[in-house]
Chain A
Amino acid sequence: MESLNSVIQILKDRFDAQICEFCGDLSLMVAPGQLLDAVRTLRDEFGFDMLSSETASDYWPEVSPRFHVVYNFNSLKGRRRLSLRVPVDGANPVIPTIEPIFPNANWHEREIWDMFGIRFEGHSDMRRLLMPYDWEGHPLRKDYPLGYEEPQFSFNFDDIAKRKHRGGYEEA
């Protein structure tokens, strides 16, 4: 079996990915267009047979990329883990779903749609999961306030006015 480092080298060359290492956790940054191929390669060639977790992170006010979707794959036999990160554009947050490859991505992706408003193309059931069906907005976005109103003073009035939540939510 190849070592984790050579797996990463192979993926890097094949999918033009970037390697990030932090605290011993290795992750690969791949473009949304190559996600499906990369995930399929991980499962079929390198034995990463379980999708452990899938989540997202919002880097607002950056726009391009505004989000990262983070996948964590686990290889039960190889006893190792690997993360993939996919940058997502803020103006048009759409990436392909990996549900056909890992069926348990279904709920993870519904949760990400619910919380971050990232749409997964080809997903079988893109409904909200945790929030009520008629909820407006996506709560885990950084421009979504926590529920209390920030006090505006003369020195930060404009700053807060800019990011104030107005009930409605503009869809991109």
Chain B
Amino acid sequence: MFQQTEVTLDELRHLVSDRALTGETVLLNMGPQHPSTHGVLRLLLELDGETVINCIPDIGFLHTGIEKNMEAKTYEKAAVMTDRLDYLNTIGNNLVYCLAIEKLAGLDVPPRAEAIRVILTELQRISSHLVWLGTHALDMAAMSTFLYCFREREMILDIMEMCSGQRMMTTYFRPGGLWRDIPVGFETAVRQFIRMFPARIDQYEALLTKNPIFLDRTKHIGVISADEAIRWGLTGPSLRGSGPDYDIRKVTPYSGYEQYEFEVPTATGGDVYARYFVRMEEMRQSLRIIQQALDKLPFGPVRSNNRKYAPPPRAELGVSMEAVIHHFKLWTEGFSLPKGAVYMPVESPRGELGVYLESDGGPKPQRVHYRTPSFVHLQALPLLSKGHLVADLVAIIGSVDIVLGDADR
């Protein structure tokens, strides 16, 4: 039988230094309800005065068993759960799940749907970076940035609501395309946003980029070299802050990213400031992508017309018996995917977001695994924070941009 276990100091012996056992250093609990841990992250800190000797992250407080739940739902119904993983990148979670299904099924997506997917994913990237910027600055006592960031983020959430009826949990992307076409007024709203936003990025930069207090708190803090970052599996802005220009949108383009011109910003410092710099630049590049996608937004359907996977339009149900049958089959049994397994990575605001999707040939997934960037980045936190002050640890947590819903799933 399973033994009931409680964590005692004995069990932590191999994780902390010997000085903790003699009482020379102090073990301090930080979180899980500490505001600057960005959610429910618990850190067990070993401190010598104010210096962090070791930091042991403890996660799982937001574990909701989504992967298990998805195994009990049909593919399309399970898409709703993916929003709840990373609640700042809901569209991206939908996207990677739909792409995995489309890869497994060999399902084609109409060009209009792909372009809209790119626009919304990039808007979501900006909104996620705005939350990161606001909270990261707030952790270092720059209150006003937070208010400005959330003001602009609200405009993006309004656009999301316009499309899907929901601000955050959109489930707008479905296997084979989109839930429905974008509404009238979408294009105007997005154009208005991209016209207004560059000046706003300049405003944030005016507040922070050359601010001596901000520079003091971020330069040479939480440094990681490119080799170490790769060894620990860091991706996204956290990797690009250390030098490598690895971006999945460029390396293995999906959803038609190869049609758009954009640069992959990198920095060489590998510190908190470098990661800040990369994300700020990424927002500008996202705007470029949105602009190009809007300019050549093609007309046409927004969902695959393969009736084995995508339901028929409502209007057809009244006149076509076949449509009724397809509708009935899709909303009761769901569609089946061929037996096999795929791994589909995309570039989320935080890094590589991958889905391992395995099908046993039936209408429900055999296994869905989300490889989430926050999970992998949190693991490297001890490496980043050793030798720094507790106050710097707060800056480091902010700079790797973790979302606990993403880490715990």
Please give, as numbers and ranges, the residues of chain B lying within 8 Å of A127 by CB-CB distance. Answer: 7, 11
In the complex, whether A83 has a CB less than 8 A from a CB of chain B is: yes
B60:A146 contact, CB within 8 angstroms: no
Complex interface residues of chain A between 9 and 30 (CB less than 8 A to chain B): 22-25, 27
Please give, as numbers and ranges, the residues of chain B lying within 8 Å of A53 by CB-CB distance. Answer: 343, 354, 356, 369, 371
B341:A22 contact, CB within 8 angstroms: yes
Cβ proximity bits A72-85 to B, threshold 8 Å, 1 near / 0 not:
10001001010100
Interface size in chain B (residues, C-beta < 8 A): 48
In the complex, whether A4 has a CB less than 8 A from a CB of chain B is: no
B1:A168 contact, CB within 8 angstroms: yes
A104:B379 contact, CB within 8 angstroms: yes
What is the interface of chain A mostly: helix, strand, loop, or mixed? loop
Interface size in chain A (residues, C-beta < 8 A): 45
Please give, as numbers and ranges, the residues of chain B lying within 8 Å of A49 by CB-CB distance. Answer: 230-231
Pull 25 A–B residue pairs with CB atoms less than 8 Å apart, ordered by A.
Answer: A52-B371, A55-B367, A55-B371, A57-B366, A70-B341, A81-B343, A103-B232, A104-B379, A106-B379, A107-B375, A125-B14, A127-B11, A129-B59, A129-B60, A130-B60, A130-B409, A131-B60, A140-B68, A146-B68, A146-B72, A168-B1, A168-B2, A169-B1, A169-B2, A170-B1
Stretch at the interface among B47-55, B244-252, B301-309: B244-252
A72:B354 contact, CB within 8 angstroms: yes
CB within 8 Å for A134 and B68 given contacts A22-B340, A70-B356, A104-B233:
no
Complex interface residues of chain B between 210 and 239 (CB less than 8 A to chain A): 230-233
In the complex, whether A44 has a CB less than 8 A from a CB of chain B is: no
Name the distance in Å between A172's Cβ and chain B's nearest Cβ.
12
Name the distance in Å between A125's Cβ and chain B's nearest Cβ.
7
Cβ proximity bits A128-152 to B, threshold 8 Å, 1 near / 0 not:
1111111011011000101000000
B379:A83 contact, CB within 8 angstroms: no
In the complex, whether A51 has a CB less than 8 A from a CB of chain B is: yes
B2:A146 contact, CB within 8 angstroms: no
Complex Cα distance, B352 from A133, in Å, reads: 29
A124:B354 contact, CB within 8 angstroms: no
In the complex, whether A102 has a CB less than 8 A from a CB of chain B is: yes
Complex Cα distance, B4 from A138, in Å, reads: 14
Name the distance in Å between A141's Cβ and chain B's nearest Cβ.
10
Complex Cα distance, B69 from A136, in Å, reads: 18
Pick the contact of B63 from A23, A55, A76, A130 — CB < 8 Å? A130
In the complex, whether B408 has a CB less than 8 A from a CB of chain A is: yes
Name the distance in Å between B98's Cβ and chain A's nearest Cβ.
15
A51:B366 contact, CB within 8 angstroms: no
Pick the contact of B352 from A52, A70, A102, A131 — CB < 8 Å? A52
